[in-house]
Chains A and B, each alone.
Chain A
Amino acid sequence: MSTLTQLQIGESLPEVQLEPVSRMDLIKYSGASGDFNPIHTIDDEAKKAGLPGIIAHGMWTMGNLAKLFTEYYEEGFVQDYSIRFKGMVFLNDVVTLKATLKELQDQNLRFIVEAVNQQGNEVLKGEVVYHQY
């Protein structure tokens, strides 16, 4: 297991590229989260809402992004996690998750985090403050 303490400002955590978004991913997230808004799972409902097709829950992508930090659980925890949802994620989109260390204040590591799609467009952007013990 690598450690966050060796990370220099401007360096990034290993990127994660997700498998293309599938309907089953979103059905599972609906069930696990309790968010059954049908625009995430049912084509007709998405179309009625003026969308070209079903879209991922913003919280699905935000949940995925947090896994960049999971393996460091002995060193600290995600103290602050703030996200702006900037673009929609559609079926078959390939999302890449990124985190770059921006600042170090005492025990807090401030990361810029983002998720981008296969066109390189940001679908979500924000910050993680990782508090080290």
Chain B
Amino acid sequence: MFNDQIGKQSTKVKNAVERGAVKKFAEAIGDLHPIYFDEDTGRLSRYKNNIAPPTFPRVFDYGVIAGLNLPNKGLIHGEQTFHYKRPLVVGEDVYCYSKVKNYFEKKGNFGQMGFLVLESFGEDEAGNVIFSSTSTIVISEAVRKVLVK
């Protein structure tokens, strides 16, 4: 039922890698290493600045994919990947968008399961990709039936 969404994408949204947000995120994942928040450690590092943890892109706004209506309940996060050209640096702007990479259905333990693969990107101001990520969202038959109504 999401087949016709494949290839659709959102408009880019400018996000900042905010110092406070990085620290709060590092705290929340129990990874309070000084490279994420201590300015001296950042300055003396090869990055000349603080960096963000690899899963930090979870906080970014990727914009809205027009026509893709996902329920806010009943979704299962099945898989997640990140690919980096370099770590994200505190203070930089990242331009983020998402697209529907794939949708397929498979028979599973709970009936016909739907798998929606969203691919997201973070680019620098010049349009160079800094990171890409994929999220595989599992949508059960029961949830899809509610969506059709």
Contact = CB atoms under 8 A, between A and B. Distances in A.
Contacts, number: 107
Q: Majority SS of interface residues in chain B? A: mixed
Nearest to A39: B73
A114 B29 CA distance: 16
Interface in B21-60: 21, 24-25, 27-31, 33, 35-36, 45-47, 51, 53-55, 58-59
A80 B77 contact: no
Contact of B31 (A59, A63, A85): A63
Contacts of A77: 54, 84, 86-87
B87 to A, nearest CB: 5
Contacts of A73: 33, 35, 45-47, 51, 87
A81 B28 contact: no
Q: Which of B33, B53, B58, B79 has the most CB of A within 10 A?
A: B58
Nearest to B136: A84
A59 B25 contact: no
Contacts of B30: 18, 25, 64, 67
A66 B84 contact: no
Nearest to B76: A85
Contacts of A66: 29, 31, 53-55
Interface string A35-67: 101010000000001000000001110111011
B55 A85 contact: no
Q: Which size class do B's interface residues fall under?
A: 20 to 34
B81 A80 contact: yes
A86 B87 CA distance: 27
B82 interface: yes
A78 B82 contact: yes
Contacts of A81: 54-55, 81-82
B74 interface: yes
A121 interface: no
A63 B28 contact: yes
Interface string A62-93: 11101101110110011111111100000000
Given A31-B28, A32-B59, A62-B80, 14 more contacts: A31-B24, A32-B25, A33-B28, A39-B73, A63-B53, A66-B29, A66-B31, A66-B54, A67-B33, A70-B36, A70-B53, A73-B35, A85-B78, A133-B46
Give the top 8 A-B pairs by smallest Cβ distance, nearest first. Answer: A63-B29, A32-B28, A67-B31, A82-B81, A63-B55, A78-B54, A29-B28, A28-B28
